[in-house]
Amino acid sequence: MPGDPLQPLLDLPSVASAFDEARADLDAAMRHRALRRQGGPVAAEIGLRSAVASAALEGHVHDLEDVRGGVITDPVVQGALRASAALDGLTATWPRAPRQVLARLHTLVARDIVPPDELGRPAGPAPRLDALASLVSGGTGAPVLLVAAVVHGELLALKAFAGPNGVLARAVGRLVLIAGGLDPRGLLPVDSGHLAREPEYIGAAGAFATGTPDGLRSWLRHYASAVSAAAGVLDEVCSEVAVP
C-alpha cells in the first residue's frame, strides 16, 4: 500500500527479522498433528490460558486449575474469560466497525468493575482512537503480526477505557490475529507469551507510549518474542491433548 503508515516500522533495526522468526515459530506450531483432529479442545484450552494470563498481567493472579474449576469469581478474570470467548463472533465486524467492537469488548471486560453508564464508552475525547479505527478499517496493508502489535500497544498507551484497559488491549490484539486470518481458530496464546516475559512487556509498553523510534522498536521486538514464546505454549498444549 503506497504510503502505508506502518511500513516504516519494519525498517527499524532488527524488527523485520524478529517478526520473520516469530512467524516461522508460529507456522511450525500450527503444523502440530494434534490440530488435525483435536483443534477444538486445543482452542478451548488456549482461550482459557490466554484469559488467565491477561488477568495476571493486570495484577489479578490466579491458579489455572482454580479458574478451570470455576471457583474464581474475580471480576477481572471473569471479564477476560468473557472477552476471550467472544472473539470468534466479532471477527467479521472488527474491520468494518472497530469502534463498535471496542465498545462490545469493553462491556464484557469491565462488567461488575465500572459503573454501567461507563461500559462501552471511551473515558474521554480520543482522536487517536479514531485514527486507530481508521487504520484497522483498511488504512494499512502491513503484515497482520505488525498490525496486532501496534493495535495492542496503542490501546495500552491510550488508556481510553475505564477499568482493566490492559485486558481489553490484549483481547483486541488477539482479535486482530484472528480476524486477519493469521490465527483464524484463536490458537495462539500471545498473552501467555507476554506473561512469560512480564518485566519486558511492561517496560516495552511504556517505551512504545513514548512514540520514539527506540521505544517503538523495543515494543515490536518484545511482541515478536512473545509470539515465539506463545508458539511454544501452543506446541505444549497440542502435545498434552495428543497424549492417548
Instruction: Classify residue 229 by burial, with Cβ atoms within 10 Å: 0-12, 13-18, 19+.
Output: buried
Separation of alpha carbons 205 and 120, rounded Å: 23
pLDDT of residue 36: 86
Provide the CATH topology of domain 7-242.
Fic-like fold (1.10.3290)
For the cut 70, the answer to whether the pLDDT of residue 174 exceeds it is yes
| Residue whose cell numbers read 482512537 | 129
What is the dihedral sign for C-alpha 224, 227, 231, 232? positive
C-alpha cell at 134: 481508521
Tens-place pLDDT, residues 71-104: 999 999 999 999 999 999 999 999 999 999 999 9
pTM of the predicted model, to two decimals?
A: 0.95
What does the chain come to in residues? 244
Tens-place pLDDT, residues 196-226: 999 999 999 999 999 999 999 999 999 999 9
CA atoms within 13 A on the CB side of 16: 9
The domain locations on the chain are 7-242
Tens-place pLDDT, residues 98-146: 999 999 999 999 999 999 999 999 986 678 898 999 999 888 999 999 9
Mean of the per-residue pLDDT values for the chain? 94
pLDDT of residue 181: 94
Tens-place pLDDT, residues 185-200: 999 999 999 999 999 9
For the cut 60, the answer to whether the pLDDT of residue 1 exceeds it is no
C-alpha cell at 49: 490460558
- 122: which strand partners? 161
For the cut 50, the answer to whether the pLDDT of residue 42 exceeds it is yes
pLDDT of residue 128: 84
